[in-house]
Chains A and B, each alone.
Chain A
Amino acid sequence: MRGNQAPLLTRIFSTDTGTTASTSTQENATQIVSNLQNQTTRTGTHDNQQVHRNKKKEKRFNEARNKRRKLIGLAKAMDHGQPGIVTYQLPRHSETKDYLAASGLPDRTRPFTVLGIESSCDDTGAAVVRSDGVILGEALASQGDIHEQWGGVVPGLARDAHEDAIDRIVDLAVERAGFSSIQEIDAIGVTIGPGLEICLRVGATKARELAQTFQKPFVGVHHLEAHILMARLPLEEASPSTATTNNFVFPATDLVHETVRTMQFPFLALLVSGGHCQIMKCLDIGKYSIIGGTLDDSLGEAYDKVARLLGLPVGGGGGPAVEALAKQGDPTAVPLPIPLRNRKDCDFSFAGLKTAVRRAAEKICDTEMDGNLEDLLTDQDKANIAASFQNVAIKHIEQRLERAMKMVEQEEQEQGGSKIRSLAVVGGVAANQELRARLETLCERCSSSQDNDDDEEDRWKMFVPPPRLCTDQGSMSAWAAIERIMVGSTDDPTSRDVYARYPFSLEHEAK
């Protein structure tokens, strides 16, 4: 029951319990006292008339609410002529039910190479990756400085920048991989969605042209799947990009691919980036179901907002700046609410936390001035705010993830089926060291809380790509294309579609 009063305001409350309170505190107090006094008499006193009036008011309010909701319901039920949303699922042969290789397949009995292109947002990336996971050559044109003056991406500018960079970046990646022509590469993959449509087109057009010119198998990659699959990139086995001394290369047969893999299907994945915050059950290539998603902002967006609030640089995303500043701050200095504490599902929410951060910052400054908090806060204040925000945001993630992990353990107990004890943490924000460390601890905690924690099979294992492979780049598209090729699935390069929204098909069916 809200009992707050703001000065100078006339407020009319209506709570869910259906009681109403009227105007000023003085009137309220008088009324309560006289209500108490008259409770047993029940005559037509002034106070009973007041109660009666309140009841009528309440009835009017309910009517208004119902009328409003009815109108909204009607509007939603209309035919809105929504353009059809295409869902992502791998096409199959109608008879054999094998995956369709619309543009054929390279020879998979030996290591093959794929040129991957990525232009879904504000980075133009290309890379040549070998089917055993070795990144042979890569190039990236980051638009951070272009958008810094705008404090973020400007789609039209991003598209222009992609167009300027794409040829150069592709050539550079091929050259660095030690090839003199694309003819020598075995297949081509590119992100076709989700993302910014006009930016996706630049990469997709280039890749499809190349695939047709050089007659190569082609894969249209799903951006989120590409993030997820990076956790399966067999880096520890053989990859110069991790600067290991072990350069042993495994031939790319089906059998060996399984042994080379560090993480098997099925597994849980936490995808955290500027645009996404989701927990997914990953069943197979092309088969993902969403267990929880954000109700409002993504984790990356929350970081951006806090960066903006504190006056930190936001070009390329505010996360790194907030993370760096947080190291100098006290994570318990600023009390903040953990979102959705009482909700029994796996969804996320950061909008309320963002508001709480702002109000806490104002409180520290002892003022309600807006816009100039960055000038009024001391450096230590800012560091404390950054650290406290990060602490609570990660705690929120931990809570939702732990519930998802317990759910999965329980499902296996009740329904049988494959055991899931692998957790992939992917997406741009997975580069955050604090997040990685805390989630590793979470996995240990979940492992030791099970009945047979001695059983290696029951221990949760976390798989996270090295920080520099968490962000958008060409090797994501290349590796995802390799995984698709290994299950026998390729696409038609003559199609011209890109998909700004590209939901997984299982998710769509669940609705």
Chain B
Amino acid sequence: MYEGPDHLNSRRSHARHPTRHSARRLFPTSSNEDTTTNALSLEIPTAQDTEEVGALFAAVLLKDCFRDGIRNEQNFLKGTTIFLDGDLGAGKTAFARGFLRSATGDDNLRVTSPTFLLVNVYPILGGSLEIHHMDVYRLKGDPEDFKPLNLDHVFAKHVSLIEWPQRLGSVPVPEDRLDINIRILSDDDDDDATETGSNISRMMTINPRGPLWEDRLKEIVDEGYLEDLIL
């Protein structure tokens, strides 16, 4: 189980650059959720970078499993929940792809958004832990619709990446989670029909919910992993 912030303090570098804190901004997200005061905004130039951010989060989670030399993935990772909000083509699946390739160690893992199937399940750790990549766009928020997804069980025992979380409606969701919103930064003057969208910047707003994720995110920023992308 996650042990709380104290042990992090002892490992973290104390050389803190003053601009790191001021680089965080409150930024209005396009979702209806309130932005927490610990929200982090990143500007992401390419789809490749979006994948890399996803991979980073998985890597950080995995790294922390080995704390104190004890391998503890199953207990540590279960219950991890990440919401991915953003328009069609914003990069939700790109993030998930990076995360999943990092978590499974398979660089060539084929990851597509589970539009048709609602959920794609990726077993790791010999199958004892599963990563559920869901796209609930087509569900209308009626808790009945979600029964086949077995969300209670997944939220408690496995890892979930959920696209279009606003469709979850009144379904109970974990309070401790990471909310990510991705927006395409479009320029009205950009009439270039040769742009496929993969070279247009994204704005990624990362909202940690609960102390667990707040501390994780703070550590990620303090360690400097995202400095080149922080807005």
Task: Give the residue name and chain of the A residue nearest to B186 (CB).
Answer: A359
Q: Which residues of B contact A293 (CB under 8 A)?
A: 110
Q: Is the CB of A72 within 8 A of B102?
A: yes
Q: Is the CB of B87 within 8 A of A156?
A: no
Q: Is the CB of A72 within 8 A of B119?
A: no
Cα A151 to Cα B118 with chains together (Å):
9
Any A CB within 8 A of the CB of B125? yes
Cβ proximity bits B82-122 to A, threshold 8 Å, 1 near / 0 not: 00000111100110010001111111101011011111000
The stretch of B32-40, B170-178, B209-217, B220-228 that contacts the partner chain: B220-228
Any A CB within 8 A of the CB of B195? yes
Q: Is the CB of B87 within 8 A of A370?
A: yes
B223: min CB distance to chain A, Å? 7
Q: Is the CB of A75 within 8 A of B190?
A: no
Q: Is the CB of A353 within 8 A of B196?
A: yes
Beyond A64-B228, A297-B112, whether A72 also contacts B89 by CB under 8 A is: no
Q: Is the CB of A150 within 8 A of B197?
A: no
Q: Is the CB of B223 within 8 A of A67?
A: yes
Q: Is the CB of A78 within 8 A of B228?
A: no
Secondary structure at the B interface, as helix, strand, loop or mixed, is loop
B58: min CB distance to chain A, Å? 6
B125: min CB distance to chain A, Å? 4
Task: Give the residue name and chain of the A residue nearest to B74 (CB).
Answer: A81
Q: Is the CB of A81 within 8 A of B63?
A: no
Q: Is the CB of A150 within 8 A of B102?
A: no
The stretch of A333-341, A410-418, A431-439 that contacts the partner chain: A333-341
Q: Which residues of A contact B150 (CB under 8 A)?
A: 156
Any A CB within 8 A of the CB of B55? yes
Any B CB within 8 A of the CB of A255? no
A351-392 CB contacts (< 8 Å) to partner B = 351-356, 358-360, 368, 370
Any A CB within 8 A of the CB of B124? yes
Task: Give the residue name and chain of the A residue nearest to B191 (CB).
Answer: A363
Q: Is the CB of B148 within 8 A of A155?
A: yes
Q: Is the CB of A358 within 8 A of B87?
A: yes
Contact of B228 among A11, A62, A151, A337 (CB under 8 A): A62
Q: Is the CB of B226 within 8 A of A68?
A: yes
Cβ proximity bits B2-29 to A, threshold 8 Å, 1 near / 0 not: 0000000000000000000000000000
Contact of A358 among B43, B88, B139 (CB under 8 A): B88
Cα A4 to Cα B193 with chains together (Å):
16
Cα A3 to Cα B87 with chains together (Å):
24
Any B CB within 8 A of the CB of A65? yes
Any B CB within 8 A of the CB of A42? no
Contact of A339 among B123, B185, B189, B196 (CB under 8 A): B196
Any A CB within 8 A of the CB of B59? yes
Contact of A12 among B94, B137, B189, B231 (CB under 8 A): B231
B149: min CB distance to chain A, Å? 8
The number of A-B residue pairs with CB atoms under 8 Å apart is 186
Q: Is the CB of A301 within 8 A of B112?
A: yes
Interface size on A, residues (CB 8 A): 70
Any B CB within 8 A of the CB of A92? no
Q: Is the CB of B197 within 8 A of A356?
A: yes
Cβ proximity bits A60-86 to B, threshold 8 Å, 1 near / 0 not: 111111011101101111111111000
The stretch of A180-188, A206-214, A303-311 that contacts the partner chain: A303-311
Any B CB within 8 A of the CB of A196? yes
Contact of B88 among A300, A317, A355 (CB under 8 A): A355
A439: min CB distance to chain B, Å? 23
Any B CB within 8 A of the CB of A296? yes
Q: Which residues of B contact A289 (CB under 8 A)?
A: none
Q: Which residues of B contact A154 (CB under 8 A)?
A: 117-118, 148
A50: min CB distance to chain B, Å? 16
Contact of A155 among B102, B119, B201 (CB under 8 A): B119
Task: Give the residue name and chain of the B residue nearest to A309 (CB).
Answer: B88
Any A CB within 8 A of the CB of B206? no
Beyond A62-B228, A154-B118, A155-B117, whether A352 also contacts B186 by CB under 8 A is: no
Q: Is the CB of A355 within 8 A of B196?
A: yes
Q: Which of A2, A80, A293 has the most CB of B within 10 A?
A: A80
Given contacts A64-B228, A83-B123, A355-B197, list 19 more A-B pairs with CB under 8 A. A2-B201, A4-B187, A14-B228, A61-B228, A72-B56, A72-B102, A75-B58, A75-B63, A75-B105, A76-B101, A80-B104, A154-B118, A155-B148, A196-B117, A301-B112, A301-B116, A355-B89, A355-B90, A355-B184
Interface residues of B (CB under 8 A from A): 30, 43, 45, 47, 52, 55-56, 58-60, 62-63, 87-90, 93-94, 97, 101-108, 110, 112-113, 115-119, 123-128, 137-139, 145, 147-150, 184-187, 189-190, 193-198, 201, 223-229, 231
